[in-house]
């Protein structure tokens, strides 16, 4: 069975790819940037990877004609509302046109439960995409889910932020709305289970776990599991817009995703069509069991994918990896170099471990304040942390940076700033050797945007000087705690 998997480096796609390979399917993964497809080597070696962008028709020629089933996991929730509906429609139309030229006999689409789409552009867009996909020659199978519970999912991480950060939560009236959450492993079971099942052709199914709970109960149950005392106060004056800003300021989501989620929270989201249980009988995990599995993965540092992996969680655009060298012209920079006698592998491991919960080694409070200011002016802030506490990957979000380059051989790390700036900024760590002496070089490069950009650079020159110089020193000092390789 030959399967095309779109959105293969997304939260769902990344996990489904591993499952499909394990089940023995011949998988072709469609991604915009192959170097961002972070799968276990054993999985990656068994799939075909093609580079294409569903918004660019010409690139879709890379889709092979001899496919049997295609998964459609393309959504633009983290872009502005007026934009994501249009982009979603264009992508779906381009996909259908190309799929009609192949031997594909089934399209599988994951959508959201739509008891009502009133007031929700996000759900309206999902429904419109479903109608577009139904026009394809291939049969469409649609699975609709409410909140997906799993380590790295947007819903799970947002709830986790609220529960772990706020002893007292101020919530709007939608806190009483009910939903039917489902564990990520159950979603994957259904996504794989409907493959090549004639009973599922041209059908729509709601999928959900056994529990129907209010959002208040979802949060309080997570708090109990974490051993935390939490209180929720409902305020009817919180409008959807204010609720979106509240989620944006408190959690790791961006404003557009927060807004889309709030629109969906206003309505009850409960499974109405349960026919899938007759075709694929399964006892799904309860909400608490799903939470326990998710936190177990986090504790084991086993999170395979996260919603923050998406480029739309920051400022980067597809193709950014083609520009891993900071420009030489029109830039100002601050560079520090320090010799060291420690094992270079220890120093490399130390600066590769930076950010997230571990912090920035020197004056971490200053980095935190910069992140808070960035949030207040509409930036990503420092909330995203890092996808893995053990390993960085190219394309990862790292607080308010994006990982552009990791060169293990040259022991080099290059980051690009995604905070709000009057220009563009890069931060680079690199280890060099001259004779028998090793040096750690740290470079801060800034390309100012007009006069405002230059004023920004020179106004903060002294604070940046002490901050970065201290950071370099701390990297070398702390490297003693890292094991030699």
- Which distant-in-sequence residues (6+ apart) come within 8 Å of 434 by Cβ? none
Task: Tell me how far apart the alpha carbons of residues 468 and 335 are, in angstroms, rounded to a whole number.
Answer: 9
The answer to whether residues 321 and 255 touch, using CB atoms and an 8 Å cutoff, is no
Residue showing tokens 């009057």: 422
Identify which of 179, 182, 212, 205 has the alpha carbon closest to the alpha carbon of residue 280. Answer: 205
Tokens, residue 169: 């939560």
The answer to whether residues 20 and 27 touch, using CB atoms and an 8 Å cutoff, is yes
Measure Cα distances from 228 to 162, 208, 223, 301, 387 in Å. 12, 27, 5, 22, 24
Residue 73 CA, distance from chain mean position: 14
Per-residue pLDDT, 303: 47
pLDDT tens, per residue, the chain with 485 residues: 999 999 888 888 888 999 999 999 999 999 887 877 777 777 888 999 999 999 899 999 999 999 999 999 987 654 445 566 788 889 999 999 999 999 999 999 998 887 655 545 666 777 888 899 999 999 999 999 988 998 777 778 778 877 877 788 877 777 888 999 999 999 999 999 999 999 999 999 999 999 999 989 999 999 999 888 888 888 776 665 666 666 656 665 555 565 656 665 667 889 988 899 999 999 999 999 999 988 877 655 444 444 444 544 444 444 444 445 566 666 788 999 999 988 899 999 999 999 988 899 999 999 999 988 988 887 878 777 787 777 888 888 888 898 888 888 889 999 988 888 988 889 999 999 888 899 999 999 888 877 888 899 999 999 999 999 999 999 999 998 887 55
Nearest-5° Cα angle at 461, 329 to 426? 45
Task: Tell me how far apart the alpha carbons of residues 276 and 282 are, in angstroms, rounded to a whole number.
Answer: 9
Regarding pTM above 0.95, the answer is: no
Task: Tell me how far apart the alpha carbons of residues 68 and 47 are, in angstroms, rounded to a whole number.
Answer: 15
Measure Cα distances from 229 to 164, 169, 185, 305, 369 in Å. 10, 11, 29, 29, 27
Per-residue pLDDT, 307: 43
- How far apart, in Å, do the first and last CA atoms of the chain sit? 42
């Amino acid at each position: 069975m030959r399967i095309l998997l779109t959105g293969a480096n997304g939260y769902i796609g990344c996990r489904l790819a591993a499952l499909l390979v394990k089940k023995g399917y011949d998988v072709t993964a469609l991604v915009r940037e192959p170097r961002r497809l972070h799968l276990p080597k054993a999985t990656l070696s068994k799939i075909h990877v093609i580079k294409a962008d569903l918004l660019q028709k010409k690139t879709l020629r890379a889709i092979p004609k001899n496919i049997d089933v295609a998964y459609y996991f393309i959504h633009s929730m983290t872009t502005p509302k007026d934009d994501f509906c249009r982009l979603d429609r264009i992508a779906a139309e381009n996909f259908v046109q190309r799929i009609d030229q192949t031997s594909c006999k089934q399209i599988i689409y994951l959508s959201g439960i739509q008891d009502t789409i009133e007031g929700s552009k996000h759900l309206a867009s999902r429904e419109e995409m479903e109608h577009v996909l139904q026009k394809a020659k291939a049969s469409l199978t649609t699975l609709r889910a409410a909140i997906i519970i799993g380590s790295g999912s947007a819903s799970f991480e947002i709830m986790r932020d609220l529960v772990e950060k706020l002893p007292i939560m101020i919530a709007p009236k939608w806190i009483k709305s009910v939903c039917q959450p489902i564990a990520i492993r159950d979603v994957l079971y259904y996504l794989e289970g409907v493959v090549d099942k004639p009973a599922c052709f041209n059908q729509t199914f709601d999928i959900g776990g056994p529990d129907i709970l209010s959002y208040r109960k979802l949060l309080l149950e997570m708090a109990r599991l974490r051993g935390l005392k939490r209180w929720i106060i409902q305020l009817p004056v919180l409008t959807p817009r204010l609720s979106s800003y509240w989620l944006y300021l408190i959690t790791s989501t961006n404003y557009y995703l927060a807004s889309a989620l709030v629109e969906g929270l206003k309505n009850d989201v409960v499974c109405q069509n349960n026919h899938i249980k007759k075709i694929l009988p399964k006892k799904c995990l309860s909400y608490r069991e799903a939470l326990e599995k998710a936190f177990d993965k986090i504790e084991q540092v086993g999170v395979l994918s996260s919603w923050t992996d998406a480029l739309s969680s920051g400022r980067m655009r597809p193709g950014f990896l083609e520009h891993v060298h900071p420009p030489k012209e029109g830039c100002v920079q601050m560079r520090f170099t320090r010799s060291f006698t420690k094992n270079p592998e220890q120093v490399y491991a130390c600066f590769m471990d930076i950010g997230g919960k571990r912090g920035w080694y020197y004056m971490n409070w200053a980095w935190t304040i910069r992140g808070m200011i960035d949030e207040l002016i509409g930036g990503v802030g420092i909330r995203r942390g890092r996808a893995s506490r053990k390993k960085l990957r190219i394309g990862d979000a790292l607080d308010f940076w994006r990982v552009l380059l990791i060169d293990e051989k040259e022991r080099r790390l290059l980051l690009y700033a995604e905070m709000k700036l009057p220009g563009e900024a890069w931060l680079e760590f690199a280890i060099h050797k001259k004779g028998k002496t090793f040096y750690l070089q740290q470079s801060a490069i800034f390309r100012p945007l007009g006069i405002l950009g230059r004023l920004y650079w020179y106004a903060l020159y002294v604070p940046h000087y002490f901050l970065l110089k201290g950071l370099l020193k701390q990297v070398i000092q702390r490297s003693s705690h890292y094991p030699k390789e």
